[in-house]
Every structure is written in structure tokens, then in C-alpha cells.
Amino acid sequence: MKKICTFVIYTAIAVSLAGCGMATMKPNYSSTNTDLMRIGGDKPGDKEPEIINMGSYCLQVTEKWKADGKTPDGQTIWSKDSLRRANPCR
């Protein structure tokens, strides 16, 4: 039993050392769809609310950008919030 415990402890130490010795991957802060998320820079401009005629009703679409945190290297993560509201057509 003592040999098994010693083996498990040495194995755990070896795995830990191997994990720490590996090169870390550089994070990739990019988005293929920049209409939804952007990294760094200034806050993108908000669009004016848009009203879309859907036939029997109209849809008001409002899009706003917000700061949604920071990357480990200090760049701001910008994400877009979209609000849709049904309105009677004028």
C-alpha cells in the first residue's frame, strides 16, 4: 500500500512539472464577426434606432456597444447589445 501511495505522489509531481514546463499558448483575441464583438480601441459608435416594417407590425431595433471586460493584456472587450421591440406601425 505504501508503494502505491508513493507511486501516485511521484506521478502527480511528474505530471505537474511537465505541465509547468510546457510552453503556454498565446491567446488569440480576435473575432471573425466584428459586428458583434471588438477588441481594443475606442467605443464603437451606437446606431440610431431602426424601425422595420414587418407587415402587420413594426419592429424597433436598438443596438448599443458596451465594455464587457478586459483581456489579460489590458485591452477592452466591446460587445454589442441588441434590443428589439414590437411597435404598431405609423
Domain locations in the chain?
Answer: 2-87
Lowest mean pLDDT among 14-18, 58-62, 63-67, 84-88: 14-18
CA-CA distances (angstroms) from residue 9 to 4, 15, 71, 75? 9, 10, 36, 41
The burial of 78, by beta-carbon neighbours within 10 Å (0-12 exposed, 13-18 middle, 19 or more buried), is given as buried
Q: What is the pLDDT of residue 29?
A: 66
pLDDT surpasses 70 at 75: yes
Q: What is the pLDDT of residue 21?
A: 65
Hey, what's the cell of 74? 489590458
